Amino acid sequence: MGKTYNLEVESLSLEGEIKKVEFAFAGGTNEAVQNIETVLTKNGKYYKITGDFTPKKKGNYTLKCTVGAGDEESSYTIDSITTKIRVLNEGEIFAPADPVESKMMISTNHYEVGKTVKITVSTPKKGTTYENARFELVPNPDGGEKVQSIRTVSLNNSYATTGYLTPQQEGEYKINFRMLMSDDNGKQWEGIASKTIKVKKVEPKKIKVTFIPLLGNPSLREDGQAVVIAKVPKYYADQGYRVDWSDNVTGFGKPASSDNLNTYIVGLFKANEAGEHKVTFKVSRDQQWIGEATMKIVVTE
């Protein structure tokens, strides 16, 4: 103990100046990192963050570095790096070595709102164990979007990590990946990869849907009811769909019927008052296609 070590962190650079850097030890310890400085590297891709650590006692520590950016009106976290430090009796420490370059691949080059993509990352196998394989989206305005179903498998010379992302917004996404590896002696490496994608909002294809005309004159008396049937091309209905009726129609819970050309979706219209009423039917599938139809029903007293 009593020895001082210089810690160095590389954080991905984004537009906006770093406003806050914080080192925090887990577990309520009184250890601290001091003399923190931040410098933008010459190539402009990374911030180099340094600080001094003087351990007070031996043991295992978990240290998290959080980097914030933005301006006075809007600020957000651009990076969060967690590592483990092992302090020995003589004050020597084990901490992660230089980052290991991982390779990130995505299942497509065309990114659309609502369409799921598969992300695959290959990381050279440096340690005998791994943990904390994770993806981060930067910036993530509402915090609701994330890479899901993350899974890592060990291959002969590498680790393969997969995950799935369904973008919900148009714009630029920066996907960061980190994975911590260690050997039997406690020495650690960190696999790092990053990729930026541009997501577009594509207007869904419009398909033709229609109502089957009501028998006779489409009118009924107040407090009466009428069955309404919408016709959707079977080719699209077989892909799966979502149905939205206007408030004056209750959709039937039973499955729709079909023939070779169309699928028939049924609802029940109820007339609460006299006058001309508009019935609206909308069917859609994610961002791929949408169809709408309207019909007027006259209600007499």
Same domain, 75 and 134: no
- What lies within 8 Å, CB to CB, of 226 at 6+ separation is 214, 218, 220, 268, 269, 271, 297
For 234-275, how does the pLDDT look when each residue is reduced to its tens digit (9 = 90+)?
A: 999 999 999 999 999 998 866 678 899 999 999 999 887 888
Same domain, 275 and 211: yes
Same domain, 102 and 191: yes
Residue ranges in 85-139 assigned as alpha helix (H):
none
Same domain, 89 and 155: no
Same domain, 261 and 244: yes
pLDDT for 113 equals: 86
Same domain, 106 and 91: no
Residue 235's φ and ψ, nearest 5 degrees, are -55, -40
Task: State both tokens at 134.
Answer: 């994770």
Task: State both tokens at 91.
Answer: 């004050």
Last residue of a domain, one of 175, 202, 229: 202
- What lies within 8 Å, CB to CB, of 136 at 6+ separation is 79, 80, 175, 176, 177, 178
Tell me the C-alpha distance between 20 and 75, whole Å.
10
Same domain, 233 and 258: yes
End-to-end CA distance of the chain: 92
Structurally, the chain folds into a number of domains equal to 3
Same domain, 247 and 195: no
Most confident of 126-140, 184-198, 207-221: 184-198
Tell me the three state secondary structure of residue 178.
strand
Tell me the C-alpha distance between 47 and 9, whole Å.
8
Same domain, 57 and 119: no
Same domain, 57 and 109: no
pTM: 0.53
Instruction: Assess whether pLDDT exceeds 90 at residue 40.
Output: no
Domain that holds residue 217: 205-300
Lowest-pLDDT choice from 37-46, 149-158, 251-260: 37-46
Last residue of a domain, one of 95, 110, 144: 95
Last residue of a domain, one of 202, 224, 249: 202
Same domain, 68 and 14: yes
Tell me the C-alpha distance between 10 and 2, whole Å.
26
- What lies within 8 Å, CB to CB, of 203 at 6+ separation is none
Instruction: Assess whether pLDDT exceeds 60 at residue 169.
Output: yes
Domain CATH for 6: 2.60.40
Instruction: Assess whether pLDDT exceeds 60 at residue 96.
Output: no
104 against 16, higher pLDDT: 104
Domain CATH for 233: 2.60.40.10
For 1-12, how does the pLDDT look when each residue is reduced to its tens digit (9 = 90+)?
A: 567 888 887 776
Most confident of 70-79, 99-108, 216-225: 99-108
